[in-house]
Homo-oligomer: A and B are copies of this chain.
Amino acid sequence: MDVHRSIENKVITIYDIAREAGVSAATVSRVLTNNANVRNEKKQRVLELIEKYNFKPNAMARSLSDTKSKVIGIIAADVRNPYYADMFVACEIAAQKAGYTVMLCNSLGEQIQEEKQLEKLQEQRVDVIIQMGGRVDDLVSNKSYVEKVNQLMNTIPMVVTGKLDGTQCYQVQIDAMKCMDLLTEHLIELGHREIALIGGRMDVLSTFEKFQRYKQNLSKYQIPFREDLVSEDGGYDYETGYTYMNRMLGQGIRPTAVIAINDFAAVGIVRSIQEHGLCIPQDISVVSYDNTYVSELLSPKLTTADYNYESFGEKLIETAVAAIEGREMPKIQLLPPTLIVRESSGRAPETKE
């Protein structure tokens, strides 16, 4: 017994509208979709009734009929991470502009979840799936996931923020190398030559690329690479930054600058440095990736690489919509980051120059 659908409140359909307007359901549909001519007089009558009853066409019925749901499925690693939250909201806004609705699923680091989400979105008959984070970040793509996706892509196109080798997913990525260039060049210009790199796992594509680029950049400026200035595999959280920085400082290793793999790691790094009685940026500069709001909350505020989430979202949706419509798009699109200089980076200490 559904209390929310009493007799006087039955949910109304185009047939109800049609009957009262003295036209056929087809005609009501025509004014709804607005892609066929209807005599103005009738159109007005229909419009008034729609208004009167606050009629909203049933999206399920519509998509059943034209096999397009007008919804974009999004799988994110975790929206509680502001990086994904920023991207998701940017996508939502862009999608709305394009006439689409989004449906968000969080995989929360669970590989099984990712596959379940894929299936769920498939059941919902979303028109396209965008995946950000998770398996698509892997340096070497997971075989069974690739198979799953390939199977799915027989019917639903996908766009990812990383890659998925062996699939035809569209890739919209931030230019990780360029990010590293921005950060290292900024530091080197400030006179730094002992630059640490902390956080991140090497089996993550973007991290791996950053690490490679870091080495290239050092050698470009004739700075020797030092094993003791980079963390072995770590994570992307506060703990990672805090632990590695503590270890480094504890061993008497004193870089003049630290590149954190993201804003969270940076927070841990900053805390460790401050607890060691050192000042940022006077003694040590700290820079990072992502430019989430965390970088503005911290004291000092962080110098960080920004991705321009708004245009990232737009590009993602643009690509997704193009994929739906079967229009050609480049398989890989790289987005340029920009550097946001704040308080956490400064000239290298005198003694080091």
Query: Which residues of chain A have a CB within 8 Å of any CB of chain B?
Result: 1-6, 9, 11, 54, 56-61, 63-64, 69, 71, 78-80, 82, 85-86, 88-89, 92, 101-106, 108, 119-120, 122-125, 151, 153-157, 238, 264, 267, 270-271, 274, 293-294, 296-299, 323, 326
Contact = CB atoms under 8 A, between A and B. Distances in A.
Given A4-B157, A58-B123, A155-B9, A86 B80 contact: yes
Of A1, A69, A154, most B-chain CB atoms within 10 Å:
A154
B124 A101 contact: yes
10 A-B pairs with the lowest CB-CB distances in the bound complex, closest first: A9-B154, A80-B85, A60-B60, A59-B123, A3-B326, A56-B123, A267-B297, A60-B64, A56-B122, A11-B155
Nearest to A274: B299
Given A9-B155, A151-B54, A326 B85 contact: no
Given A80-B82, A101-B103, A103-B103, A155 B5 contact: yes
A327 to B, nearest CB: 10
A168 to B, nearest CB: 10
Contacts of A59: 123-125
Contacts of A3: 326
A113 to B, nearest CB: 9
Contacts of A323: 4
A74 to B, nearest CB: 9
Nearest to A120: B101
User: How many copies of this chain are found per oligomer?
Assistant: 2
Nearest to A267: B297
Nearest to A326: B3
A238 B296 contact: yes
Contacts of A69: 60
20 contacts: A3-B326, A6-B154, A9-B154, A56-B119, A56-B123, A58-B64, A59-B125, A60-B60, A60-B63, A80-B85, A80-B86, A80-B293, A85-B85, A92-B106, A101-B120, A101-B124, A102-B104, A103-B103, A238-B296, A299-B299
A89 B108 contact: yes
Nearest to A297: B267
Given A267-B297, A299-B271, A326-B2, A89 B78 contact: yes
A82 B124 CA distance: 28
Contacts of A56: 119, 122-123
Contacts of A154: 4-6, 9
A64 to B, nearest CB: 5
A108 B93 CA distance: 10
